[in-house]
Structure 1
Amino acid sequence: MSDRVVPPTARRRRRPTKQGVVLSEELIVETALRLIEEHGADALSVRRLGHALGADPSSLYRYFRHTDDLMLAVADELIGRTLRIWRPTGDWRADLRDLGLRMHAGALAHPRAAVLSSHRVTGRGHEIQAVETILGVLRDAGFPDADAVRIYHAFVDQSLAFAALDSASTALPKPARDAEATVWRTTYAKLPPDTHPHIAATARHLVTDMPRSSYPAALDMLLSAAAARLAEIGD
């Protein structure tokens, strides 16, 4: 896509596409998300999207100025999917843990899209809602504004970093993933204690733990540090 801009009032398509559907921003984002998982970044081409939608590629400019605009909408949709299924309980630590785990799971459900979008700032509705919500959880818990922002920043960056890392691993072909997992058993677990005493001593734990994501453990460490900070503030 290019930087052609169609005024918002002219964006709605009133006629169905060749496949009998009426175009909308939501339909285009959903289709782009599906194509990204099938084809990677190359899916975000006007030709491929138009073909998948059964529409003239030029009609996409009624909704998005260029592919980066569409990519931001895809990123925002991933955030929205998490927010739609998350329900706060009033326990700030439990709520942030649940939200973080849901963000991570949502990324793994769409690994290629997550790798492409986890580093983006969209400025769109769902992202704005997420920022407002997380800051609200922290401020309501009693964190001063500066601490709330600092913890929010660490929480979101940690979630997005693990989303990108684990999504990249998930997006690998299964034989490659299996081969990497076996390295811990076939290489590390067989290193002798006289040359690698620490690896040898912990080998059984490495074999079971390393193939899994460390995000839940890292999230718990972050929340424990935040709880300790809150206790300091209350003293």
Structure 2
Amino acid sequence: MAGANRVPAERRRRRPTRGGVLLSADLIIDTAVRLSHEHGPEGLSVRRLGAALSCDPSAVYRYFHSTDDLHLAIADRLIGEAMRGFTPDDDWTAALRGMALRIRAVLLAHPRLAVLAASRVTRRENEFRAVETGIAILLRAGFGAAGAVRAYHLFIDTVLGHAALEAAALALPDARREADERAWTDAYQSCPDDTHPALAAVRHELHRMGGSAFEAALDVLLTGLRQVHASG
């Protein structure tokens, strides 16, 4: 998650729709987030937004230059949710852990938007604050400029990648997600020993593949960063 083209102020002012609703950038984003929960990524179309807001779809373009501009604003909104009220712990690894868990919680709360939020660089204020916070944690810990940037890159890509993967699974229909989870204690248990000897050797442990690896991956990452930090 990492200036944006700005819509002129006179085009950002609140305007009533034909249904009497006062249109604003925040209302459009709120509606887009709601529609994504109901309809998936296709809920972010300008046509569907116009219908939900009782306005001509072209009215959306008074607030956002394009659908991509809207997507970036939505991603930045989620970053803002994750960082709202966050006060870093004095211990830098605890601070990064706290930041990571907040990001994960927001992506899991918005599973159909998780890939959008994880894959884009919004170039907006919430992302600027988030990156500023992460880099500042590492600089205060004693990382040099290059080391802080490398460490933050590793941190944020690991967090976003694992959280988005977990959220994508959560967005699946229940039956598909449950079938995927059962695969480790069902389909994988029936692989023939002679053709899959490695799987046979660990068959009794494969159930572990069904859970989330997020916190374990975070532990590995933070342990590695502590070792890099200690080695100077």
CA distance in structure 1 between the aligned counterparts of 2:14 and 2:62, rounded to whole angstroms: 8
RMSD over aligned CA atoms reads: 2.0
Offset at residue 115 of structure 1 (A): 1.8
Residue 221 of structure 1 aligns to which amino acid in structure 2? V
TM-score scaled to structure 2, two decimals?
0.90
Counterpart in the other structure of 1:13? 14
CA distance in structure 1 between the aligned counterparts of 2:22 and 2:68, rounded to whole angstroms: 23
CA distance in structure 2 between the aligned counterparts of 1:65 and 1:195, rounded to whole angstroms: 56
Counterpart in the other structure of 1:220? 219
**Does 2:84 match 1:73?**
no
Map 1:79-158; keep pairs closer than 5 Å: 79-158=79-158
Identity, % of aligned positions: 51
TM-score scaled to structure 1, two decimals?
0.89
Offset at residue 85 of structure 1 (A): 4.3
Offset at residue 171 of structure 1 (A): 1.3
Which deviates the most, 40-49 or 139-148?
40-49
Offset at residue 194 of structure 1 (A): 6.1
Which deviates the most, 5-14 or 135-144?
5-14
> 1:201-230, CA deviations, whole angstroms, 9 ceiling, x for partnerless residues?
4333321x2111212111111110110111
**Does 2:32 match 1:32?**
yes
Identify unmatched segments of 5+ residues in structure 1.
Answer: none
CA distance in structure 2 between the aligned counterparts of 1:205 and 1:6, rounded to whole angstroms: 55
CA distance in structure 2 between the aligned counterparts of 1:11 and 1:197, rounded to whole angstroms: 63
Identify unmatched segments of 5+ residues in structure 2.
Answer: 1-5
CA distance in structure 2 between the aligned counterparts of 1:159 and 1:46, rounded to whole angstroms: 31
Offset at residue 53 of structure 1 (A): 1.6
CA distance in structure 2 between the aligned counterparts of 1:19 and 1:120, rounded to whole angstroms: 33
CA distance in structure 2 between the aligned counterparts of 1:137 and 1:19, rounded to whole angstroms: 47
Residue 186 of structure 1 aligns to which amino acid in structure 2? D
> 1:70-116, CA deviations, whole angstroms, 9 ceiling, x for partnerless residues?
00000001100000143312111011012112211211111111123
Offset at residue 163 of structure 1 (A): 2.6
Native 8 Å contact 2:104 2:159 kept in 1 = yes
Counterpart in the other structure of 1:46? 46
CA distance in structure 2 between the aligned counterparts of 1:6 and 1:74, rounded to whole angstroms: 15
Native 8 Å contact 2:81 2:106 kept in 1 = yes
Offset at residue 146 of structure 1 (A): 0.8
Aligned residues between the structures: 227
